[in-house]
Amino acid sequence: MMPVKCEICPLRKKPLFAEMDDDIVRFMQEFKVGEMKVKAGTTLMMEGSNAPQLYTALEGMGLRYKTLIDGDRQVINFVLPGDFIGLQAGVMREMQHSVEASTDMILCVFDRKTLWDLFQNHPERAFDLTWVAAVEEHLLGESLAILGQMSGIERVARAFVRLHDRCEALDLKHGAGVPLPFKQQDLADALGLSLVHTNKTLKKLRDQSIAKWANGKLEVMSYTRLCEIAQLDPTRDPIIRPLI
């Protein structure tokens, strides 16, 4: 099967991503060495290793996580289409977290070795890479504030709003809900809550008809009330980011 041409990349035109000049698109086409399909459960990057390849998620979802000495797992964030994977491997010695596919995924593949070429000959793209890193930094800072200052139900609500909005921006809404192909344990590990407590919190949102998450689908029934709990302004603007 032919890989998707960057030129006609369906992600590129979503308003979530910064616009891209035509010559940048041509360069990306060159920079891209191929496409990869992986099955759910595949480990894409390993904490502590150095990866020869970098990716951009095209389809499917995954998660980034760290494993602690005592075996606990912290999910750093969820990987959705448009996310760049492997920046740390690209510029630091090695990855500081692992990345795993939660569903089957399709990824754009880049070569780590040509990253330097990007910096030397395509300053706009280098800038965009830094921009992506800064957006990532922002999102992690926000997550930190969520774990540090918010209660269980607030954290779940926040996660739902974030994921719901991102899916909508990607036009992933089909029917009543958006896809959320994770386990409750994944969400628990992301929010720093126990599985049991997460489960009971989900029940509360269900019982109050605010949001329902089952069978890999998230249905937000009252966006307003969800935002209220999540301490978010329902009319705020999304963060624009470049697509690598």
Please, what is the minimum distance in Å from the beta carbon of residue 212 to a second copy?
25
Of residues 138, 168, 163, 156, the one with CA closest to residue 204: 156
Name beta bridge partners: 108: 35, 56
Select the span of 20-28, 51-59, 86-94, 182-190 touching DNA (CB under 7 A). 182-190
Q: What is the dihedral of CA 78, 49, 130, 22, to 10 degrees?
A: -80
Report the alpha-carbon distance of residue 94 to residue 136 in Å, rounded. Answer: 17
Binding to a second copy (CB under 8 A) within 191-230 occurs at 191-192
Please, what is the minimum distance in Å from the beta carbon of residue 104 to a second copy?
26
Binding to a second copy (CB under 8 A) within 52-81 occurs at 64, 66, 68-70, 72-74, 76
Q: Which residues have CB under 8 Å from 138's CB, separation 6+? A: 239
Query: Nearer Cβ to a second copy, position 37 or 66?
Result: 66
151 near DNA (CB under 7 A): yes
CA-based max dimension of the chain: 56
Within 10 A of 103 (CB to CB), how many other CB atoms are there? 16
The dihedrals phi and psi of 36, each to the nearest 5 degrees, come to -135, 135
Residues 141 and 133: beta-carbon distance below 8 Å: no
Classify 216 in phi/psi space as left (phi over 0), alpha (psi -120 to 50) or beta: left
Select the span of 4-12, 19-27, 113-121, 174-182 touching a second copy (CB under 8 A). 113-121
Of residues 115, 79, 114, 83, the one with CA closest to residue 17: 83
Residue the block writes with tokens 């000049």: 21
Residue 133 binding partner per list DNA, a second copy, none, with a CB distance cut-off of 5 to 8 Å that depends on partner kind: a second copy
Q: Which of 113, 127, 196, 204 binds a second copy (CB under 8 A)?
A: 127
Please, what is the minimum distance in Å from the beta carbon of residue 72 to a second copy?
4
Q: Which of 18, 145, 196, 239 binds DNA (CB under 7 A)?
A: 196
Binding interface with DNA (CB under 7 A): 151-153, 183-185, 192-200, 202-203, 214
Binding interface with a second copy (CB under 8 A): 64, 66, 68-70, 72-74, 76, 87-88, 90-92, 96-97, 116, 119-120, 123-124, 126-127, 129-131, 133-138, 140-145, 147-150, 189-192, 231, 239
